[in-house]
Amino acid sequence: MNAPLEDIVVIDLSRALAGPHAAMMLGDMGARVIKVESPGTGDDTRGWGPPFVGPEDDPISTYFLAANRNKESITLDLKSDDGREVLTKLVQRGDVLVENFRPGVLDRLGFSAERLHELNPRLVLLSISGFGHDGPQGGRAGYDQIAQGESGLMSVTGPDADTPQRVGVPIGDLLAGMYGAYGVVTALHERNTTGVGRVVRTSLLAALVGAHAFQGTAYTVAGHVGRAQGNHHPSLSPYGLFHCQDGDIQVACGSESLWRKLAEAFDIDPATPGMATNRERTVNRDQVTAALNTAFAAYPLAGLLPRLAELGIPAGEVRTIDRVYDWDQTRSQGLVLDVDHPVLGHIELPGPPIRFDDNTYAGGRSEHAAPPTLDQHGAAIRAWLAELNALRD
């Protein structure tokens, strides 16, 4: 199988997570991704940890490893003549440029959107910011946890309305990267017709507001302000986390028929006052939760899950991260990659979440590359550019 984006060259000027995640998604689909890093230090995340692995005198950040597979690395000082010259050549050859500088920084370096399109009218530029590129707070620096708070996400996450909680991964960065990659492939498709690229913009704020789903329409349509309700759904009951003899279990009843099956199987009258309909059960959630916790207390997790499965009740356990990656179902979906790192040797990485029906590989590649060491491919990239220039001359 030919990789879907194997004819695309991506110049990744971004650092941290949102931009690198977008570029990695494109790399997973076969694009050649050239990561431009600062000399000496590289991407900020090369220094983020613990945990670190590898040699004590030059440790490698596992955070960096999470967002930079299938990339090449070159170091350039973009304030120097040489750095700007090499970047200019990359822009002239590239199809996509990804950047997440604060608004205006790339302009000051001499690579405004207008200049980039003068160099290469077909270039698709993905620009990711914290709070948007314009508006009254368009220049604010973007950090995931701050954006989670400002976007309202933390107000609907946590045990209760008085205890806002961030999501356990940098979800704003990840979503911004995903929306950004989606915008890039859309612009590349459009370029097939128009022959010119365009600027794609998104932000941590936009990505998180874009993920509000029912919490957004609850306010914009009904005027209802959602609040955190812990591990239970605000609009469905029972739908959440419950306790059994030796652990926690999650149950999702999305219909009245499922509720009746569940209740009757565990000696609960489904028509009990306050529990007869989903509307009643959401109002009286504590009553429903207490009834199910009492019923489940007689069962160990290993016995309760099969019984629920037999009844057709959607349910699952709460796994720790190690048990997720050791799970045969996770591995069957291509979600663990084997790669060879130039320093660490053979390592396993989380894999891309997309598979195609005509291959058995994760993403669009038959082989994946480990995240690069700093400037690992610098000489080869410079030689490639020199060869292209010689052919052009």
- Note the pTM of the prediction, 2 decimals: 0.93
**Res. 21: pLDDT tops 70:** yes
| pLDDT value for 392 | 75
Q: What is the pLDDT of residue 262?
A: 96
The CA distance from 181 to 70, in Å, is 15
How confident is residue 248, by pLDDT bands cut at 50, 70 and 90?
A: very high
- Please work out, in degrees rounded to the nearest 5, the angle formed at the alpha carbon of residue 16 by the alpha carbons of 367 and 180: 70
Which whole number is the average pLDDT over 166-194? 98
44 has catalytic annotation = no
* 341 beta partners: 345
> pLDDT tens digits for 295-309?
999 999 999 999 999
- Other C-beta atoms within 10 Å of 153: how many? 22
The 10s digit of each residue's pLDDT in 251-283 is 999 899 999 999 999 999 999 999 999 999 999
The pLDDT tens digits of the residues spanning 143-170 come to 999 999 999 999 999 999 999 999 999 9
Confidence of residue 365 (pLDDT cuts 50, 70, 90): confident
Fold topology of 239-319: formyl-coa transferase, domain 3 (3.30.1540)
Give the burial string for 261-298 (b: 16+ CB within 10 Å, else e).
Answer: bbbeebebebeeeebeebebbbebbebbbebbeebbee
Give pLDDT, residue 83: 97
What average pLDDT does the segment 230-247 reach? 94
C-alpha distances in Å from residue 280, one per residue of 37, 72, 215, 254: 57, 57, 20, 14
Is there a contact between 342 and 334 (Cβ–Cβ < 8 Å)?
A: no
* Helices 81-93, 378-392: inter-axial angle, 10-degree rounding: 60
CA distance 321 to 311: 28
Do residues 31 and 9 touch, judged by C-beta distance below 8 A? yes
CA angle 60, 61, 67 (to 5 degrees): 120
Strands 199-203 and 239-244 turn out to be unpaired
For residues 334-360, average pLDDT: 90
The one catalytic residue among 28, 95, 144, 173: 173
Q: How confident is the model at residue 75 (pLDDT cuts 50, 70, 90)?
A: very high
Can you tell me the distance from the alpha carbon of 101 to that of 128, in angstroms, rounded to the nearest whole number?
Answer: 8
Contact present, 266 and 295 (Cβ < 8 Å): yes
pLDDT-derived band at 360 (thresholds 50, 70, 90) equals low
Specify the pLDDT at position 141: 87
Joined together, the tokens standing for residue 226 give 């959602």
Angle (deg, nearest 10), helices 171-194 and 18-28? 50
Per-residue pLDDT reduced to its tens digit, 94-142? 999 999 998 889 999 999 999 999 999 999 999 999 999 999 999 888 8
Instruction: Report the distance separating Cα 185 and Cα 207, nearest Å.
Output: 17
How much is the average pLDDT of 28-32? 96
Is residue 211 within 8 Å of 198, Cβ to Cβ?
no
Stretch 82-96: mean pLDDT = 97
Look at residue 357 in the predicted model and tell me its pLDDT: 80
Residue 173 has pLDDT above 90, yes or no: yes
Paired sense of beta strands 247-252 and 239-244, if any: antiparallel
Other residues' Cβ atoms within 10 Å of the Cβ of residue 334: 17
What is the DSSP annotation of 296-359? HTTS-HHHHHHHHHHHT--EEE---HHHHHT-HHHHHTT-EEEEEETTTEEEEEEPPS-B-TT-
Rounded distance between C-alpha atoms, residue 296 and residue 34, angstroms: 53
pLDDT at 225 (0 to 100): 96
* Cis ω before 238 (30° cut-off from 0): yes
Gap between the Cα atoms of 117 and 138, Å rounded:
23
| Residue 137 confidence (pLDDT) | 92
Any residues with CB less than 8 A from the CB of 121 and at least 6 apart, and which? 195, 196, 197
Q: Which CATH architecture best describes the domain 9-211+329-392?
A: 3-Layer(aba) Sandwich (3.40)
CB atoms within 10 A of CB 80: 11
Domain assignments of the chain as residue spans, ordered by start: 9-211+329-392, 239-319
